[in-house]
Amino acid sequence: MSAWPPVYDPDYYPAQDEPYWNRAVETMDPQEREEKVILPKLRAQLEYCYAHSPFYQRKWDAAGVHPGDVKSLADFEGFPLVTKDEIRADQAAHPPFGSNVCVDPIRLGRVLGTSGTTGRPTAFGVSRDDMTRIANAHARVMWGMGIRREDIVFIGSFFSLYWGSWGALVGTERLGATAFPFGAGVPGQTERAIEWMQMVKPTVFYGTPSYSLYLAERARELGVDPLRDFNFRIMFFSGEPGAGVPSTKRRIEQTFGAICLDSGSTGEMSPWMSNGECAERRGMHFWQDLVYSELVDLKTNRRVPYGGEGVTVYTHLERDSQPMIRFLAGDISRWEIGTCACGRTYPTLPRGIYGRADDMFVVRGENVYPSAIEDELRAIPGFGDEYRIVITRERTMDELIVQAEPLPGLEAGEAARIQKTLADKLKAKGLRTVVQMLAPGSLARTEFKAKRIVDQRDLYDELAQG
Ligand SMILES: [Zn+2]
């Protein structure tokens, strides 16, 4: 194979009418791509890690695996998984970036990180060369979404430690489109966004699904019609599963008159757009030659066959700083193989990422994914886009409560209709639920990832004991 890591020509652009950024790789027979493109990149990445990362030297020696033994992707499935806790512990022991930096600190170009709302934050030290490769990868996926150089890309998410915003920005810049890095999170910013969207008329939106719907709601309150007064033709999202939930997707498309595309793996795995939907909207593709992605059975740590359900495990193929090898992201999905209408031959996740191993909750012995409830709710006309799931325990029985807001200004009796429709639909799915309708505007709004699940069972237990 050619040199590793790959060097991309900064002046390269596909022809304007070319649907692919890299036609050869994107449309290659999947097996051929695994053998000729992915495996050579993987072997080079593994050799690099073993030579430069004390983290992987320790881990792989202990597991009795060695990069030189990997002759096939099946061999690679014998490599141990890396967990988020492991990375956090390694960074605590070797601050600030852990024993997996792999490059001289002088080559680090950017520090990003996780919010650390649930424990020690993870610090990302990203090399300049990695940033360039990430920009190229994101430009490729964004091209597949249909974004072109004429577009103005509004980035409506936090510009802080959050990888999402920066990933969208560098991809936009490499693609040669006009970046409009508006940000989010400052008081009054949503109102200013509404003003600027009418003034500049951006054609592409990036943010979280909940924020786009909140923005639409706020716009309507201000007498602005998102369909008439904004100019979006493509909206792409990450950070929440919503854009892959069919009824949420429909709701966003109807609200803005744009196509709604799902994307995103996780910050650790940047280029995080290696999970990215194409303009056909059949579910996210795993862009396998950018990041090698597996759906794994956690009992065996091996890939599940196409058609099956598994947990996401990701491996970098062209990172020289903090490479992740079989990183257990913990999202649940189902995958399929077969040529998409776009002509790409990557695996597809037809239902997106519909659960997280740690998001799923169990109520009276039933596994419940919040996205399943969201899907039913958003399909009901008159639902006002905000909801919350509360789980309590009355005596010994778990109680599942869904609190939902109707659209403002509905006729009397409409809220009761929504309430009954939802309760019936969930009952048909085997979920006994109490549905409560709240006044419009009573639930907290978010400019980032919505917090929609409140599990009060621990609290109840404490009260009972205390
Ligand atoms: Zn496609």
**Are the C-beta atoms of 290 and 46 separated by less than 8 Å?**
no
* Pairing label, strands 204-207, 434-437: unpaired
Computed over every residue of the chain, the mean pLDDT equals 91
- What tokens does 196 get? 């600027």
C-alpha 238 – ligand 1 centre gap (Å): 17
Ligand 1 center from residue 174 Cα (angstroms): 21
Confidence of residue 461 (pLDDT cuts 50, 70, 90): very low
Do 5 and 323 meet the contact criterion of CB atoms below 8 Å apart? no
Looking at per-residue pLDDT, the higher value among 140 and 330 belongs to 140
> 444 falls in which pLDDT band (50, 70, 90)?
confident
Rg (CA), the chain: 23
Instruction: Name which of 127, 51, 121 is nearest 91 in CA terms.
Output: 121
**What value does the mean pLDDT take over residues 451-457?**
76
For residue 175 the two structure tokens come to 């693609």
pLDDT for residue 129 is more than 60 = yes
Angle among Cα 267, 86, 319 to the nearest 5 degrees reads 45
Helix, strand or coil, per DSSP, at residue 43: helix
339 C-alpha to ligand 1 centroid (Å): 8
Ligand 1: centre distance to CA 331 (Å): 21
Output the CA 274–ligand 1 centroid distance in Å: 13
Asked if residues 426 and 404 have their Cβ atoms less than 8 Å apart, the reply is no
Residue 360 has what pLDDT? 67
Q: Per-residue pLDDT for 390 more than 90?
A: no
Distance 363 CA to ligand 1 centre (A): 36
> How much distance in Å is there from the Cα of 365 to the middle of ligand 1?
37
- Give the pLDDT confidence of 45-86 residue by residue, as tens digits: 999 999 999 999 999 999 999 999 999 999 999 999 999 889
As a whole-number percent, the residues of the chain with pLDDT over 90 amount to 71
Q: In this predicted model, what pLDDT tens digit does every residue of 2-17 receive, in sequence order?
A: 699 999 999 999 998 9
Instruction: Tell me the pairing of strands 302-303 and 152-155.
Output: unpaired
80-89 CB contacts, 8 Å cutoff, 24+ apart: 80/301, 80/326, 81/296, 81/301, 81/313, 81/326, 81/327, 81/328, 82/324, 82/325, 82/326, 82/327, 82/328, 83/328, 84/122, 84/268, 84/328, 84/330, 87/122, 87/268, 88/119, 88/120, 88/122
Ligand 1 mean position, distance from CA 59 (Å): 37
Residue 281 Cα, ligand 1 centroid: separation in angstroms?
A: 7
What is the predicted pLDDT for the residue at 364? Answer: 67
User: Which residues on neighbouring strands pair with residue 15, listed in sequence order?
Assistant: none
What's the confidence (pLDDT) of residue 259? 98
Domain residue spans of the chain: 1-354, 361-465
The alpha carbon of 346 and the centre of ligand 1 are apart by a number of angstroms equal to 8
First to last CA, the chain: 65
Short-list 42, 39, 3, 6, CA closest to 317 = 42
**Cβ contact 243:273 at 8 Å:** no
Question: Computed from CA positions of residues 104, 106, 109, 111, in that sequence, does the dihedral angle turn out positive or negative?
Answer: positive
| Residue 44 or 465, more confident | 44
Taking a C-beta distance cutoff of 8 angstroms, is the pair 143, 175 a contact? yes
Q: What are phi and psi of 435, to 5 degrees?
A: -105, 125
The reported pTM is 0.84
CATH class, range 361-465 = alpha beta
Distance (Å, rounded) from C-alpha 77 to C-alpha 85? Answer: 21
Query: With contact defined as beta carbons under 8 Å apart, do 217 and 385 qualify?
Result: yes
User: Which phi and psi angles does 350 have, rounded to 5°?
Assistant: -60, -25
d(CA 8, CA 344): 21
> What element of type H or E holds 33?
helix 30-33
Please give the residue that has the higher pLDDT: either 198 or 365. Answer: 198
Contacts of residue 9, defined as CB under 8 A and 6 or more positions apart, other chains included, come to none
* Cα–Cα distance, 225 to 244 (Å, whole number): 24
Burial class (CB in 10 A: 0-12, 13-18, 19+), 15: exposed
82 token code pair: 């890396």
Q: What is the pLDDT of residues 99-116, one digit of tens each?
A: 999 999 999 999 999 876
Within a 10 A sphere around the Cβ of 114, how many other Cβ atoms?
21
Long-range contacts of 371-376 (CB under 8 A, 24+ apart): 371/241, 371/242, 371/245, 372/429, 373/402, 373/426, 373/431, 374/242, 374/245, 374/247, 374/248, 374/452, 375/245, 375/246, 375/247, 375/248, 376/247, 376/422, 376/425, 376/426, 376/429
Both tokens of 235, joined, read 């909206």
**Ligand 1 centre from 278 Cα, in Å?**
5
Res. 459 pLDDT band, cuts 50 70 90: very low
> Distance from the CA of 376 to the center of ligand 1, in angstroms?
26
Least confident of 102-106, 149-153, 384-388: 384-388
* DSSP states along 169-228: HHHHHHHTPEEE-----STTHHHHHHHHHHHH--SEEEE-HHHHHHHHHHHHHTT--HHH
CA of residue 176 to ligand 1 center, whole Å: 22
Rounded to 10°, the helix 414-428/370-378 angle is: 140
- Distance (angstroms) between ligand 1 centre and the Cα of 462 equals 49
Distance, in Å, from the CA atom of 172 to the CA atom of 40, rounded to the nearest integer, reads: 29
Per-residue pLDDT at 384 = 87
pLDDT value of residue 370? 79
The architecture of the domain spanning 1-354 is 3-Layer(aba) Sandwich (3.40)
195 Cβ neighbours under 8 A, 6+ residues apart: none
pLDDT tens digits for 223-256? 999 999 999 999 999 988 889 889 899 999 999 9
pLDDT > 50? residue 460: no
